[in-house]
Amino acid sequence: MLKLGDKPLAYDRAFTDPKTGIQYPANWLRMASLSEKQAIGIVEVADPPRYDQRFYWGVGNPKQLDDSTDENGVVTTGLKSLWSKKQDEIAASLLAPSDWRVIKAKETGSNVPSAWKTYRAAVRTACNARQAEVAAVTTVEDLIELFFGGAFITRKKTDGEGKELVEPDTIQQQKKDESGSPVVDAEGKPVMEDVANPAAGEPIMETVTNPGLATAWPDLVSE
């Protein structure tokens, strides 16, 4: 980020030097050399830390998860309530385009096509599941992951008892002769040998579907 005195400067925006009153056109920062910028006192500083204003008041200052009531009875709505309500709003938006089918069926005594009945029920089920998942989170980070996490995560692999697995002391590789050529047996199959594992003792990692994501909304019925 560029600053002139205490004033942040943005590319492609005109600015005025607060000391001299000289005005500079919008393209000046892109056209000027480093020495020209430094000559009028422009310096480059690190950008301020960014944070998601939906979830944080500031860097390292998360908003509260749960609703609270102060001594005067004033209720502060927490993130859980806000994001639970958003699921209702999303569900309503998904159901709205097919509401006319339900109205038509009631007014004419006909039936809503089964595919649409199934879809609308699935929307409500997904909404309930997502709201339950919101209610279950215990940190703001978990809430963010619920809706904005990646589809896959890399984690330490564990066995059936939950114990972390590590690389073995030795691994097998094809044996080589003195000239460095791979050794095969009489049938042409590779001759293997145990050698020291350079990664011995390190955690074995695996990539899996992110278990921290919210239940997916159902796919729309194809006409």
Encode the chain (223 residues) as per-residue pLDDT tens digits: 899 998 999 999 999 999 999 999 999 999 999 999 999 999 999 888 899 999 999 999 999 999 999 999 999 999 999 999 999 999 999 999 999 999 999 999 999 999 999 999 999 999 999 999 999 999 999 999 999 999 999 999 999 999 999 999 999 999 999 999 999 999 999 999 999 999 999 999 999 999 999 999 999 998 7
pLDDT of residue 169: 95
Distance separating alpha carbons of residues 58 and 67, to the nearest angstrom: 19
Q: Which residues contact 28 (CB under 8 A, 6 or more apart)?
A: 14, 15
Q: Which residues contact 15 (CB under 8 A, 6 or more apart)?
A: 4, 7, 9, 23, 24, 28
| Contact (CB, 8 A) for 5 and 18 | yes
pLDDT of residue 217: 98
State how far the alpha carbon of 123 is from the alpha carbons of 86, 112, 148, 178, in Å: 14, 16, 20, 67
Q: Residue 79: which H helix or E strand, with range?
A: helix 79-95
Instruction: For 103-119, give one letter per residue: b (16+ CB within 10 A) or e.
Output: eeeeeeeeebeeeebeb
Distance separating alpha carbons of residues 94 and 220, to the nearest angstrom: 8
CA atoms within 13 A on the CB side of 140: 16
pLDDT of residue 45: 92
**Domain boundaries, given as residue ranges, for the chain:** 2-44, 56-148
CB atoms within 10 A of CB 51: 14
pLDDT of residue 47: 85
